Amino acid sequence: MGAYVDVSDATFEAEVLKSEIPVLVDFWAPWCGPCRMLAPHLEVIAKEYAGRVKVAKVNVDHNQAYAARYGVQGIPKMIVFKGGAQVADITGLPRSPVETLRALVNQAL
């Protein structure tokens, strides 16, 4: 199994909103250079927080409902959910991706 979960509009509620552990959702697209640059850092976070935080990826080209619902206007956009509620977010490729993502995730722990 990969370090992250691919999530669609059809599975978003079950995988993210009803998750028993916090979820870091990456809204991305394959044509987005910064999104591709962020991917290995998300893998690090997924492995580091395995069992405590789920990392999910939503391809906005194919799944627009939840991207629209959460106001995703630029990608990559990462949103942390806990108990179905949005607790933190960041848009763009951070200068220090792993450290920034850790800080984001730690807000939900």
Residues 6+ apart with CB under 8 A from 25: 7, 16, 56, 57, 58, 78, 79, 80, 81
Which of 5, 24, 25, 35 is flagged as catalytic?
35
Which of 17, 32, 90, 98 is flagged as catalytic?
32
* 35 carries an active-site annotation: yes
* Residues identified as active-site: 32, 35
